[in-house]
Structure 1
Amino acid sequence: MGGAMYLGVDLGTSGVKVLLISADQTIIASATSSLDVQRKHTGWSEQDPAEWVRAVEDAIGELKAEQPEALAEVKGIGLSGQMHGATLLDRNNQVLRPCILWNDTRSHKEAAELDSDPRFRRITGNIVFPGFTAPKLVWVKRHEPEVFAATAKVLLPKDYLRLWLTGEHISEMSDSAGTGWLDVERRTWSEELLAATDLTVSHMPSLVEGTEPAGMLRRELAERWGIGGNVVIAGGAGDNAASACGAGTVKPGSAFISLGTSGVLFATNDRYLPNPESAVHTFCHALPNTWHQMGVILSATDGMNWLSGITGTSPAYLSDELGEALRAPSPVTFLPYLSGERTPHNDALIRGSFTGIEAGTSRAQLTQAVMEGVAFAFRDNLEALRQAGTTLDRVMAVGGGSRSTYWLKAIATALNLPVDVPTGGDRGAAFGAARLGLIAATGADPLSVCTPPPIAATIEPDTFQSGALEEAYQRFRKLYPAIRGVSS
């Protein structure tokens, strides 16, 4: 097999995925290796960075066994990773403690304190969430002062892998925007915000754009994996920005809805458009001079999985039970706040609920209510993005939940936007990372590389049910303030 190859490495919470593509972006092979999360106390979530290295070694070892000739032709590597994690290193690049992950909530008090300082929202354009990196460092200073004193560098998870791959302390804009220290509009570290957490720019990695070179693969690793010399490591991206590169959501106005365990409404912008009051994330994109907004709901397919467990029926069967045609709204309303909610409420304590249940309520009506509740939560996200100046004319559906045509019809009608369904194939974060590796190694135009996939179908809003669904959405909107004080 001839020709240049490019490798994407995606460091997730539950595993590492590596994906090999050719110069024409054909997927050649992929491999995965699992990771565990340590939870020593309630609200804690940690991983040993050595396990990330082990997982990458295992996955690339599998690729080498399956595709040694293709792996030998790798010219560029892109990195994607779980965001917000605090990886603390001493002056000798030794890890001082396990990485505190994005879903660790121990620093909720510290996050509230930083968020009460108006400089953080003004400079970062975001609420300081407990998951962000900055409050984690305040927690470490208070509870592990000897670790804080020894900290010479703070790296995000994928950037620790970069250090291992290249020997360089480098990060990029999309991932760094989720730390709470980046001036997101100016795309640079904020000395003011770092000082507010008793850190300096010297504690941070240098910054590049996600499409730019950010180190070269160490000779030792290239020889071990059977790869030639001069392999460029791209800046890469945080996981959602990498997924956007994989899905071609890189031009202003393009957007995707991700129906995974949680839900994401991701929109690309050519301007900095913050709206922290609605808990919208405003981050740098992986491409230069590009930003993105992201609304996040914490339970999307999680709601269907919960109902599946309660009813003893698979999510696919529950969806099929509704048929193909969009029904009039369910008389039952579901608030999908099983784990709290991010956008627009920023409420970790709120919990989900059904209202309108009566003796004759059927399983199908509960399924419909769950799907509609998630669709309405996405509508909340869309309204939050609109308040910040983002206008969308369509969205692409990705994630496991997008296999339900009924659910997509409910979402299209609730949003009053067409929903495009792409053709099959792996278009996730590892694919986006590989694309970034290709761009960094070749200097190719990012827009010519990060193109959207072919569209298999488009789900249009159901104009017959749109009025009734709008009325149901307005009922949904009234329920959150009504139950907020009694559901925690």
Structure 2
Amino acid sequence: MYLGLDLGTSGLKGVVIDDNGVVLAQESVSLTVQSPHPTWSEQDPLSWWQACLEVMAQLQERLDLGKLKAIGLSGQMHGATLLNQQGDVLRPCILWNDGRSQTQCYALMAESPDSIERSGNLVMAGFTAPKIRWVEENEPEIFQQLAYVLLPKDYLAYRLTGHMSTDCSDASGTLWLNPATRQWDADLLATTGLTLANMPTVHEGCDVVGVLSKELAEQWEIAQLPVVAGGGDNAAGAVGMGVINPGEGFISLGTSGVYFTVSEAHRANPDNTVHAFCHALPDRWHQMGVTLSAANSLAWLAKLVGKSVAELLDALEDSDMVRTNVIFLPYLNGERTPHNDPLANGQFIGLDNQTSLESLTLAVLEGVAFSLLDCQNALSSAGSSAESLSLIGGGARSGMWRQIIANVLGKRIIYRDGGDVGPGLGAARLALLGEQRRLGGELEALIAQYCVMPDVLEEHVPALETQAYYQEKYALYQEVYQSTKTLNGRLSTLASSI
């Protein structure tokens, strides 16, 4: 058996597969996000470790973990996990959807104009590098103690093995890695006052980075298993869905939304706010468009009205509503693609006395689909496309939402077995690859054998009769942002100034 640990924003999952890649069990523990100030988003790394211990305890009750052969990791990207020389956490991790460092982004681009060319990506507030500059300027006492910077999943790897390591897919999202060489760039690190000594070693996703500590092995009654580097959540999700060859793609409907396509080389296109990163497998790269609030938008609405997401979706389906005059901009955490605007606000437009909760729910589903169309258009302008798309993430469980996305994108959408645990499945597959290669297997043959696309559960073809409705509404959706974007900064500061 092989274990994948997937550290998401809303929870930590453990996924166990057998030698044939079949999912045997999965368990999860919820996590919470703290937002002490507007645009801030943080988590305590110690809560990740506690969640890991709880997931392992749950799996122990279901399976004989003595049969485990290796552990892999996947996780939310970009988070700045700061440790001192002793390996202790210095402050809460600043997460991927934190927007506080926009001023530092402007400064870094002005000071190091070649940084975009070297990293292949725009300097955005969600990435790791500007967060470190913010800490240096606003929490100098923390910066002075800073010895190591780890990404979220790599903190778990450190707690599991005692070694500081990362993989090139996750490291691509820091703005310190050169995706062409797949290694740290000393000049990029220097822009934020760091050196190679502050960074973990960079590996490919299926490389073994250490073995489970003796203490944990005894606690879990298992061997000192090899631990592989793993991947950032999106690259790991691609491995889980078998999206590993140029021209293949998927959409992730997690807390954030990701439109992901594989490329045969590092193809940067920062002008279109496209992320160009390393894949979690060697000699592969990928491009992404990212919308910061996908399934989170629906969860936000559900919490606001005191219902569950399932209740909202059930009520919408029962209503038979398929069109609404309400427009929703899903910019609850700002937006990346295509706006790179951390101050963008979420909005409902078109409300009146007749507006129902079902209409709001439908507007949210459509708004997230439109944000994914923004991503598709940005990727297309960068020369990247996929004929059909697999769909993964918790939001992918809704057949109605899958069909709306197919209609809006004009693409065939495929929902596959394991789509709800894609990154965890990918982490387990990377563990399997690492262990089989350690035993003498040839990597490309192993990838071809194990990194296959899971069985199709349902396909969604665009409904031609809906195209005029969605095209016109998408144009209005775009116009709403352009017409109101100058208000966003003023609204963000208004409440805090009172």
- Name the TM-score, length of structure 1 as normaliser: 0.89
2:69 partner SS:
strand
Does residue 216 of structure 2 align to residue 221 of structure 1? yes
Aligned residue number for residue 466 of structure 1: 467
Task: Label 1:107 to 1:434 Cα distance change in 2 as closer, same or farther (>3 A).
Answer: same
> Aligned-pair distance for 1:393?
0.5
Farther off after superposition, 475-484 or 169-178: 475-484
Instruction: Give the residue type in structure 2 aligned to 1:108.
Output: Q
Report the AA paired with residue 120 of structure 1: S
* Bigger proportion of residues as helix: 2
Aligned equivalents of 1:94 and 1:364: distance in 2?
47
Name the residue aligned to 1:344.
338
Is 1:131 paired with 2:126?
Answer: yes
Q: Which residue of structure 2 lines up, in the alignment, with residue 319 of structure 1?
A: 316
Contact preservation (8 Å) 1:162, 1:168: yes
Change (3 A) 1:425 1:354: closer
Q: Aligned in 2, Cα 1:364/1:233: closer, same or farther, shift over 3 Å?
A: closer
Q: Which runs of 5+ in 1 are unaligned?
A: none
Identical residues among aligned pairs (%): 44
State which drifts further: 298-307 or 283-292.
Answer: 298-307
2:143 maps to which residue?
148
Measure the CA separation in 1 of the matches of 2:394 and 2:80. 29
Contact residue 65 and residue 221 of structure 2 kept, 8 A: yes
The equivalent residue for 1:60 is 56
Asked whether 1:30 is paired with 2:40, we answer no
When residues 20 and 405 of structure 1 are mapped into structure 2, their CA distance, relative to the original with a 3 A threshold, is closer
Relative distance call for 1:310 and 1:55 in structure 2 (3 A) is closer
Q: Which residue of 2 aligns with 1:177?
A: 172
Query: Which residue in the other structure is 1:268 paired with?
Result: 262
Relative to 1, partners in 2 of residues 1:184 and 1:263: Cα closer, same or farther, differing over 3 Å?
Answer: same
Map 1:81-120; keep pairs closer than 5 Å: 81-116=75-110, 117-120=112-115
Shift of 1:386: 0.7
- Residue type of the partner of 1:239? D
Give the length in aligned residue pairs.
478
The CA deviation string for residues 54-86 of structure 1, in whole angstroms up to 9 with x for no partner, is 33223223323432xx31122211011222222
Contact 1:215 1:232 survives alignment (8 Å): yes
* Higher mean C-alpha deviation, range 196-205 or range 258-267: 258-267
Structure 1 residue 318: deviation in Å? 4.0
Provide the rounded CA distance (Å) in 2 between the counterparts of 1:479 and 1:72: 56
Query: Match of 1:456, as an amino acid?
Result: L
2:424 to 430, 439, 442: 430
Q: Residues 294-320 of structure 1: CA distance to partner in whole angstroms, max 9, x if unpaired? A: 212233344445555677773223431
Counterpart in the other structure of 2:200: 205
Task: Give the alignment of 1:469-484 within 5 angstroms.
Answer: 469-484=470-485
- Aligned-pair CA distance for 1:242: 1.6
Structure 1 161/400 Cα, relative in aligned 2: closer, same or farther at 3 Å? Answer: closer
Corresponding residue for 2:184?
189
Q: Deviations over 1:371-410 (max 9, x none)?
A: 3332222111100001111021011122343344343333
Distance 1:372 1:252, change over 3 A: same
Give per-residue Cα distances to partners, 1:262-289, cap 9 Å, x unaligned: 3221222222122222322222111111
Q: How far apart, in 1, do the equivalents of 2:21 and 2:395 lie?
A: 26
Deviation of 1:292 (Å): 1.7
2:486 matched to which residue of 1? 485
Q: Is the 8 A contact 2:406 2:413 kept in 1?
A: yes
SS at match of 2:487: coil
Letter in 2 for 1:156: L
- Give RMSD over aligned pairs: 2.7
| C-alpha contact (below 8 Å) 2:392/2:419 kept by paired residues | no
Whole-angstrom CA distance in 2 between matches of 1:405 and 1:241? 24
Query: 1:399-418 counterparts in 2 under 5 A?
Result: 399-418=393-412
- Structure 2 gap ranges (5+): 438-442, 492-498
Give me the TM-score of the superposition, normalised by structure 2: 0.87
Determine if contact 1:211/1:446 at 8 Å carries over to the other structure. Answer: no
Partner of 1:9: 5
Name the CA distance, whole Å, in 1 between partners of 2:350 and 2:219.
Answer: 62
